[in-house]
A and B are shown apart, each in its own frame.
Chain A
Amino acid sequence: MKSMDFTVEAIIAEMAARLGKFLADRDRRDPLILGIQTGGVWVAERLRTQLGIDHPLGRLNIAFYRDDFSRIGMHPHVTPSLLPFSVEDRHVILVDDVLHTGRTVRAAMNEIFDYGRPASIALAVLIDRGAHELPVQADITGKAIELGVGEHVKLLGPEPLQLEFRRSC
């Protein structure tokens, strides 16, 4: 167990500032924000508030798009995806808590396209822990950390948001 000398809320505040600038620089107006369940939704909700996005939050349950279904089957039930808007021709901000292999992001993008063709997707992650297995990079990264094999980071929440570091044996 490592202790980290930063708070999740401080990282998110800083992400919101950089995300706002990222969108403004590219003239991506009136964006929609989507969180990947479960942790990504918590982060997305805070970003939504801080960026003053009026649209409701979308949440993605990527269980039906995972690439490991043929190996491990269905994952335990989580709340269904809910996109209370059309993504067609819209600028989308996709949010997750931890970027690791990149497979979750790939699954999420596949799912988004089954709802329509967005004008753009930007990826924002709280933690990039490295060890990507797919060519997926975040546009906005809260904190990049290097974790070794067998080390894990998990976002606990929703109140308060805390990072848990663990080593599996």
Chain B
Amino acid sequence: MKTKEWLIEKTLLLMALSAVAMLALIAIFVFIEGTPIMAREGLGHFLLGRKWAPTKGSFGIFPMIVGSVWVTIGALVIAGPLGLACAVFLVEIAPRKVADIVRPAIQLLAGIPSVVYGFVGIVVLVPLIREHLGGPGLSVLAASIILGVMVLPTVISISQDALEAVPRTYKEGALALGCTHWQAITRVILPAARPGITVAIVLGLGRAIGETMAVIMVVGNAVKVPAGLLDPARTLTSNIALEMAYAGGDHREALFATGVVLFMFIMLLNSLAALRFGRRRPSP
């Protein structure tokens, strides 16, 4: 009996460790492949260089960094307010029947493959932007909108959890003091849920910055620093995906180095989220 328990525990431990090991292996591999070229080119040159001509020996990924940052912030400007509003509606206002329809619909949104988002973007959104706002259509704006919709489920479901975790006493205390429902939401519930909402937004950021397929399809992929929302751009992820097929030698290393930068970005965001989670006060 005792050996059986021992065996089960150790097996589970091994399985849990294998997930961590997988992560460690990928990270180590990416770093081993990617860091030498950063060292050779100089970190400053690599990160801030504006010229990306890998076949001719120029490896500057600054345009891609800017592209990723723009697209991600754009996505968040769209998904943040929309997602938060939706979460507040679902938790505080929606009658149960409406919530029962909206919740699964949002989960479904998360299940649509990204290539489908990209396809809809290129067929519907890009021409719309080209005709009404000008520019080539394939742009930072198009990518931001598509990404915004894609990260919406993340922002909504995590904000929803945060709102539901606010102690009921806060809300009832506010109502008993003569707050209207809306005052209770804006002055008591939202401030109390702020740490969780921040986490929702940071995790949304993480998803947006890592998304590849849909972005490649609508962002234009031009290697230059975008001057405005209607300019095409290229993101870190699309840089890797677009060129990996024919990259060799230094070029291949440079793509791995792009991966390293992406890795750092996402680690930064996740640890930021973890930090906020840690600070959340336990509910009484």
Real binding pair: no
